[in-house]
Structure 1
Amino acid sequence: METLLLLALAAALVEVSVPGPPPRLTIVSHSFDIGRCQLNVRWNASAESVNHACKEYHSVVWTDGIATDALLSSSTDRTMEVELGKNLGFGVREECGDMRGKWVNVTLQQNGTAGTGAVNIECTWFMEKDVECSWQPGKKAPAGTHYTLSYWHEKMKTREQRCSNYTWSKGSEGTRFGCRFELPSSSGLPKLHLLLQGNTGDIQPVCVFRGDTASYIPEIFDPPSISNLSNVRDGILVEWTRPVNRNNLCYQVEDNKKNPYYTFMDLTKEVIPVEANEQHTFRVRVSQRCDTCPRCWSDWSKEKVWKPKDKPPDKTFKILLCTMIPFIVIVLTIILLIYLKSIRRLILPTIPDPGKFLKLMFEDQNEDLQKQPPEDPLKDEQTHPLTVMEPIGNEN
């Protein structure tokens, strides 16, 4: 009986014996798809690994010495997006539970000369409509080097698109080149794939990823608009409208008589503690962040002027007015008493009695009728006879 138990135990121990560590990988090959910013890697395991009961591979991409894009899979090939222009490497090892093999690492050789690719790449999203990306030439890039920008995101129908609206500017940090392209989106910025290539084969291509969960792209919005100004107890109430349907935005209100600005988080109205009896000019701007991105502020809104409606009079004038009013009243009263009769005549002139006027008129007419008419002057005229005398000496 004891012998049978020992045989059964021995058989069980043989069945659960732990396998040894997985053997090491032997071959690693790689290639780049520059247009898509992708790395294609294939590795070949040894014959012992092929026949092994546990076959899983842990792979990582080394970007400037930092392990990224770790993946555990049973496949012996992998395709992944990489940031060309940086120091890249790839590593893979076999794993089986707690048993891990040794890393097999390879340094990824890239096209072009290191240090000639574009650097200091920055992108900005304007008003949810356009994206502008800018860069500077690499330190080892020859003079006269030109770069072309290609971009792609998941919402595009074609795989990649070349930017055509190029610009350049010169500032304190040197010359910056840029390009602007359309990207309308009301649901947030998708992940952007950006490829910068030089005008010769010696210039190293550079791939970067922006937006989504990749590197942050600041958004610059349309400026808000001031909708109303009103007088309240503690100052002037400034009200403005949101430029987009977003929350957690930062606003700054500028008063032409105060410095610095008044900063508010996720508000559309606020009381500015200023004198309401003075004239003020207000402007508002908006940003995604209050302090961490100075270049993310929108343009200022149109100015809106506050003019006091009822400005209190000067105290000296008030005292003088209160003194002069009683004096003026007294003087006017005396003048009225002295010239009351004259003033009354001016105000109420004498109206003649119509009866008396008619009586006088008829009396004059009666007197004219009662007068004797003058005698006829021909009545008393005397008549004398007329004697006609003939001349003498003319008788026949």
Structure 2
Amino acid sequence: MKCSWLPGRNASPDTNYTLYYWHSNLEKIHQCEKIYTDNQYFGCSFDLTKVKDSSFEKNSVQIMVKDNAGKIRPSFKIVPLTSRVKPDPPHIKKLFFHNGNLYVQWEDPQNFISRCLSYEVEVNNSQTETLVFNVKDEAKCQNPEFERNMENTSCFMVPGVLPDTLNAVRIRVKTNEFCYEDDKLWSNWSQEMTIGKKRNSTLYITMLLIVPVIVAGAIIVLLVYLKRLKIIIFPPIPDPGKIFKEMFGDQNDDTLHWKKYDIYEKQTKEETDSVVLIENLKKASQ
């Protein structure tokens, strides 16, 4: 049994506390020796192994917490053994597939009657969502594989599980309303156990990388091929105006420019020469 409490309001931080407990199967009051601190809480745990199963539902534990200096008013409480019970997590013993169904076998927590417990089985599959099943006595499986060792064990058949993928299974347990007042305190999850085949992640990643490259290359080749095919089927039509311009347009311009330059140059020389000759004749006559 684990008990926890807050320190006194006006208590100093170095105050030491002591927890005492007693129930009907003990001859005297016992002191809890395993006191610990958890953040702002103090706590202590002790064994209840001397409580008989036949009287467990009728028993209660009387608890008192006080400080060693006697400066704080002691706290006293009677706790029924059927309230706030948290079982230990189950232990999975066996997993196997049979006729397309997954069978799970586990050990029940100690010191509990099987009819007083309810289980929850969780199956995680890489290809599907997480599957959660609530297991009761009437839902437990009946299979010859478990008949040889059914003492203190339970079994459940999980439907709709794919055997060709990796499946991770874990279980937790809580007390039910048939034997206990509080039926909402779940145990910790059991250690996970796996079954099935794991997918080759390397091959999967390689395919994801290769396929886009192949598709892109095929698209590029197809575009180049279609462009060449279009040129072969529909060749470009030549422009007649451009052809005639290249043949005659540039040559006419050059010819006219040459002719103008030549005529101008000749005219200039002839006029200059005739002027010089006239002046020379006048001087000679004088």
Question: Per-residue displacement from partner, 1:121-176 (whole Å, max 9, x unpaired)?
Answer: xxxxxxxxxx1211111334343333210011111122x01111111112xxxx11
Q: Using the TM superposition, give the Cα deviation of residue 277 of structure 1 relative to its aligned residue in structure 2, in angstroms.
A: 2.2
CA contact (8 A) 1:210 1:217 kept: no
Question: Per-residue displacement from partner, 1:38-78 (whole Å, max 9, x unpaired)?
Answer: xxxxxxxxxxxxxxxxxxxxxxxxxxxxxxxxxxxxxxxxx
Q: Using the TM superposition, give the Cα deviation of residue 221 of structure 1 relative to its aligned residue in structure 2, in angstroms.
A: 2.7
CA contact (8 A) 1:227 1:239 kept: yes
Measured at CA, do residues 265 and 277 of structure 1 come closer, stay the same or move farther in structure 2, by a change above 3 Å?
same
Aligned to 1:237: 103
CA contact (8 A) 1:227 1:241 kept: no
Q: 1:227 aligns with which of 56, 70, 94?
A: 94
Aligned to 2:47: 182
CA contact (8 A) 1:226 1:283 kept: no
Aligned ranges 1:56-205 → 2 under 5 Å: 131-158=1-28, 160-170=29-39, 175-184=40-49, 185=51, 187=53, 188=56, 190-205=59-74
Amino acid at match of 2:96: L
Aligned to 2:218: none
Report SS of the residue matched to 1:247: helix
CA contact (8 A) 1:151 1:194 kept: yes
| Pair 1:279-2:166 in alignment | yes
Q: Using the TM superposition, give the Cα deviation of residue 194 of structure 1 relative to its aligned residue in structure 2, in angstroms.
A: 0.3
Q: Indicate the structure (1 or 2) with the bigger Cα radius of gyration.
A: 1
Q: Using the TM superposition, give the Cα deviation of residue 299 of structure 1 relative to its aligned residue in structure 2, in angstroms.
A: 4.1
Aligned length: 169
Q: Using the TM superposition, give the Cα deviation of residue 287 of structure 1 relative to its aligned residue in structure 2, in angstroms.
A: 1.5
| CA–CA separation in structure 2 for the residues paired with 1:307 and 1:256 | 13
Amino acid at match of 1:261: V
Aligned to 1:270: 157
Q: 1:253 aligns with which of 107, 117, 121?
A: 121
Q: CA RMSD in A?
A: 2.8
| Pair 1:303-2:159 in alignment | no
| CA–CA separation in structure 2 for the residues paired with 1:260 and 1:144 | 49
| CA–CA separation in structure 2 for the residues paired with 1:307 and 1:239 | 20
Structure 2 unpaired stretches of 5+: 141-154, 199-286
CA contact (8 A) 1:222 1:299 kept: yes
CA contact (8 A) 2:63 2:77 kept: yes
Measured at CA, do residues 306 and 238 of structure 1 come closer, stay the same or move farther in structure 2, by a change above 3 Å?
farther
Measured at CA, do residues 249 and 295 of structure 1 come closer, stay the same or move farther in structure 2, by a change above 3 Å?
closer
CA contact (8 A) 2:175 2:185 kept: no
Measured at CA, do residues 297 and 222 of structure 1 come closer, stay the same or move farther in structure 2, by a change above 3 Å?
closer
CA contact (8 A) 1:230 1:238 kept: no
Question: Per-residue displacement from partner, 1:152-210 (whole Å, max 9, x unpaired)?
Answer: 1111122x01111111112xxxx111111122145136310101012333201111011
CA contact (8 A) 2:118 2:173 kept: yes
CA contact (8 A) 1:226 1:301 kept: no
CA contact (8 A) 1:252 1:284 kept: yes
Aligned ranges 1:16-35 → 2 under 5 Å: none
Structure 1 unpaired stretches of 5+: 1-130, 309-396
Structure of higher RCO (CA pairs closer than 8 Å, 6+ residues apart): 2
CA contact (8 A) 2:120 2:135 kept: yes
More helix by share: 2
Question: Per-residue displacement from partner, 1:280-318 (whole Å, max 9, x unpaired)?
Answer: 12122221149x76653144145142349xxxxxxxxxx
Question: Per-residue displacement from partner, 1:223-269 (whole Å, max 9, x unpaired)?
Answer: 23243322334x42333343344214111112232436322233431
| CA–CA separation in structure 2 for the residues paired with 1:147 and 1:155 | 25
Aligned to 2:216: none
CA contact (8 A) 1:253 1:263 kept: yes
| CA–CA separation in structure 2 for the residues paired with 1:207 and 1:286 | 30
Aligned to 1:73: none
| CA–CA separation in structure 1 for the residues paired with 2:81 and 2:103 | 37
Q: Which runs of 4+ in 1 moved over 4 A?
A: 292-295
Measured at CA, do residues 260 and 134 of structure 1 come closer, stay the same or move farther in structure 2, by a change above 3 Å?
farther
Measured at CA, do residues 177 and 254 of structure 1 come closer, stay the same or move farther in structure 2, by a change above 3 Å?
same
